[in-house]
Amino acid sequence: MMASTSRTPSLASTPRAFRRAVSSLSSRARASVTRASRVEDADDAESRERLEALRRRSTALLERQRLLTERLERRRREREGENDANREREEAAAVREREEAEAEAEARRRADAEAAAASERARAEREAAEAAEAAAQAEARARADAETPKCRERLNIVMVASERARAEREAAEAAEAAAQAEARARADAETPKCRERLNIVMVASECAPFSKTGGLGDVMQSLPKALAARGHRVMVVVPRYKEYDDVYDTDVRVTFNVLGHPTEIGYFHLYRDGVDYVFIDHGAYHHVRDGIYAGDRSDAMFRNSMLCQAALEAVWHVPCGGAPYGDENLIFVANDWHAALLPVYLQAFYRDHGKFEFARSCFVVHNMAHQGRGPLDEFYSLQLPEHYKEHFVLDDPVGGECMNVMRAGLRLSTKVIAVSEGYAWEITTDMGGWGLAPTIREFGPGKLSGIVNGIDLDEWSPELDCHLDGDGYARFPPRGDAFSDGKRQCKRALQRQLGLAERDDVPVLGFIGRLDDQKGVDLIAEAEGWLCSQDAQLVMLGSGRGDLEDALRGMENRHHDKCRAWVGFSVEMAHRITAGCDILLMPSRFEPCGLNQLYAMRYGAVPVVHAVGGLRDTVQQYDPFNGTGNGWTFDSAETHKFIDAINHAMCTYRDFPEAFREIQARGFERDLGWNRAAELYEDRFIDAKYSW
Ligand code: ADP
């Protein structure tokens, strides 16, 4: 029992322990009462005594239970009080926390709002700046747009490059692009725009760099570009002698009646430098790939007839960037006798039948000596109406009656242009007309004129010339001290390459040209003795007639210490000789224009020329008293006069170097480009357009 009492929980115990203690006391009291009631029934004294004890005990237990219950109740109330205080504290803390959180949230909201306002302000400012920038760019683009010519057709161009090389190339390209843009802007500013936009189709048997045997190829390379730069739409039509890089097959095939044979040709196309190059493809051209004028008379007639017919219809068939030329504002330009059938076909096959009503043809005479003469009955193979025959018939006092293709071309074209003013006059003379002077003299007023060729300064400028890279040569500017250094270096390189003594003080004389009667090579051969007795060096490049090739080789063999003859056709050597020689010889018996004297001037080589045709128009005799002139001329094709002119040039070179330098300077300061000539051609074409 005592043990039970001693286990009564203290006030420090938990309420649950109290409750357990109270409940144990209650059950013990209840057990005592039960036992007491059971004992009550006993009637003996001992039992009553036990009963009394039990009653006391149960009363005591009940009393203890009551006390414990009161204590428990007190404790509960105390705890409730504590809980209330705690709750209040907690509530207060919660309120504080809430207030703090709200304050913090409010601060955050304010900060967010301020940040949002600031970012909104920044965005507005940025947008305003961007709008201003965009407006400025749009204005700059519009300005550039107005100044920049538009592409003919917009292409998506995919350029593939290796990643490593790209960065370097991009930097180089950027610099190059800037330089080009500047050059273009300069050229653009210098290049006047066309008076009236024309569709111009130029037709020839050769066009450099695809095919070239002489000056015609050079003109076809540069005049179309110059016309395109003035704003005209320009097509060049030439034979496809072989495969050319970047030229694609249009898949257009057309069949023409060529000298009585149905003949299918293909059109190939290349767009470059603003010009549409259209190549006529047929096996007959492939056969002469190594000598484009090879074959007999009927071969040549077949090729030329095919070229002219295909050229006339190229304006309808060749897409040229999706927009064929059509027949509006159309000027066909036939060059030399190879294209002379074009004006004839234009009239006979089309205009007489109401087609190409507003198209006109112009004929450019590069060389009157080649006319396409043949037997008269050849006319019938051309499938032309009988009344056209009179245009072809030439009753020549020298050659007799013949069929003459150039005559028909001259007669049936609207305008005729010779390649220099001097030559335009010469071909009206019996000496210079090669039998066609009477035909030309029959022309109505304004039909004939002369325009001196220009030169392609991209191809023929010493500062841009890729043929001067390597072998000790050097590009050089055609001006200032750098000119003298560059020229000297090229001269030494030429002497070294050809195995001549490397000397600055000896004048190097050059000759470049076709080896035939025209170029006056025989005058050089006749002057051999005198030339090779001089302290001078002679370098000659040419190909053509066998006897003249042999004459050149003979000179080299006899004077191996002073003379070199390069027999063959080498564009690179032509450039190197022009750059390396001091004096260029052009003793041509006749020269429609001549390009070599113009190239020579650009490279600081002083020309010595026979004053005929274009040579007379472009080279002025040096006058030491007035300090004028850009070369030396002689007035008739006689050896002693030629020698005399060379002698003057060499004396000036040796004894008056300052005067020689001034002559060189006057040469390369001259405007040699195509701009002026292209403008004059344009005038002629516009005149043709309005001629009936
Ligand atoms: P033509 O047209 O009468 O032949 P030009 O002086 O008008 O004479 O033009 C000749 C052109 O041909 C020039 O570009 C000249 O450099 C070039 N040429 C002539 N003969 C050769 C040759 N053997 N090798 C390289 N180019 C040559």
For residue 470, pLDDT over 80 is answered with: yes
> Which of 458, 459, 596 to probe ligand 1 with, by most ligand atoms within 8 A of CB?
596
Tell me, using a 6 A CB cutoff, whether residue 614 lines ligand 1. Answer: no
Phi and psi dihedrals of 184, rounded to 5?
-65, -45
For residue 19, pLDDT over 90 is answered with: no
Ligand 1 atom at shortest distance from the alpha carbon of 588: 3
For residue 368, pLDDT over 60 is answered with: yes
- What digits encode the pLDDT tens for the residues 323-336? 999 999 999 999 99
Q: How far apart are CA 76 and CA 270, in angstroms?
A: 109
Ligand 1 atom at shortest distance from the alpha carbon of 541: 23
Tell me, using a 6 A CB cutoff, whether residue 220 lines ligand 1. Answer: no
Tell me, using a 6 A CB cutoff, whether residue 335 lines ligand 1. Answer: no
260 CB contacts (<8 Å, ≥6 apart)? Answer: 381, 383
The answer to whether 311 and 334 are in contact (CB under 8 A) is no
Distance from the alpha carbon of residue 400 to the mean position of ligand 1, in angstroms: 32
Question: pLDDT at position 458, please?
Answer: 93
Question: pLDDT at position 691, please?
Answer: 93
Element (H, E) at 587: none
Question: pLDDT at position 17, please?
Answer: 57
Nearest one of 473, 428, 478 to 598, comparing CA atoms = 478
Percent over 70 (pLDDT), the chain? 89
Query: DSSP code of 348?
Result: I
State the architecture of 466-672 in CATH terms.
3-Layer(aba) Sandwich (3.40)
Residue 320, Ramachandran bin (φ over 0: left; ψ between -120 and 50: alpha; else beta)? left
Ligand 1 atom at shortest distance from the alpha carbon of 208: 14
The answer to whether 203 and 334 are in contact (CB under 8 A) is yes
What is the band of 6 on the pLDDT scale with cuts at 50, 70, 90? very low
CA angle 650, 467, 606 (to 5 degrees): 20
Lowest mean pLDDT among 173-177, 253-257, 648-652: 173-177
Q: Hey, do 199-454+678-689 and 466-672 end up sharing a CATH topology, with the first three levels equal? A: yes
Q: What is the mean pLDDT of residues 199-211?
A: 98
For residue 275, pLDDT over 70 is answered with: yes
Most confident of 29-33, 37-41, 249-253: 249-253
Distance from the alpha carbon of residue 213 to the mean position of ligand 1, in angstroms: 7
Nearest one of 584, 60, 301, 255 to 576, comparing CA atoms = 584
Question: pLDDT at position 10, please?
Answer: 43
Question: pLDDT at position 37, please?
Answer: 56
The answer to whether 327 and 374 are in contact (CB under 8 A) is no
What is the band of 187 on the pLDDT scale with cuts at 50, 70, 90? low
* Mean pLDDT across the chain: 89
For the beta carbon of residue 15, count every other beta carbon within 10 angstroms: 12
Identity at 575, one-letter amino acid code = H
Q: How many CA atoms lie within 13 A of 370 on its CB side?
A: 20
CA angle 362, 368, 369 (to 5 degrees): 150
Q: How far apart are CA 349 and CA 371, in angstroms?
A: 22
pTM over 0.95: no
Angle formed by the axes of helices 639-655 and 657-669, nearest 10°: 110
Tell me, using a 6 A CB cutoff, whether residue 595 lines ligand 1. Answer: yes
What is the band of 188 on the pLDDT scale with cuts at 50, 70, 90? low
Tell me, using a 6 A CB cutoff, whether residue 543 lines ligand 1. Answer: yes
- What digits encode the pLDDT tens for the residues 391-447? 999 998 777 899 999 999 999 999 999 999 999 999 999 999 999 999 999 999 999
State the architecture of 199-454+678-689 in CATH terms.
3-Layer(aba) Sandwich (3.40)
Question: pLDDT at position 11, please?
Answer: 43
Lowest mean pLDDT among 95-104, 208-217, 635-644, 667-676: 95-104
The answer to whether 151 and 636 are in contact (CB under 8 A) is no
The answer to whether 372 and 336 are in contact (CB under 8 A) is no
What are the boundaries of each domain within the chain? 117-191, 199-454+678-689, 466-672
Q: Identify any residues that bridge with 271 across adjacent strands, giving them in sequence order.
A: 276
For residue 480, pLDDT over 90 is answered with: no
Q: Which residue is closest in CA terms to ligand 1's atom 21?
A: 513
For residue 174, pLDDT over 90 is answered with: no
What is the band of 13 on the pLDDT scale with cuts at 50, 70, 90? very low
What is the band of 129 on the pLDDT scale with cuts at 50, 70, 90? confident
For residue 5, pLDDT over 50 is answered with: no
The string of DSSP letters for 331-387 reads EEEEETGGGTHHHHHIIIIIGGGTSSTT-EEEEEES-TT---EE-GGGGGGGT--GG
Tell me, using a 6 A CB cutoff, whether residue 684 lines ligand 1. Answer: no
Q: Which residue is closest in CA terms to ligand 1's atom 2?
A: 215
Nearest one of 564, 561, 582 to 657, comparing CA atoms = 582
What is the band of 301 on the pLDDT scale with cuts at 50, 70, 90? very high
Distance from the alpha carbon of residue 229 to the mean position of ligand 1, in angstroms: 25
Tell me, using a 6 A CB cutoff, whether residue 512 lines ligand 1. Answer: yes
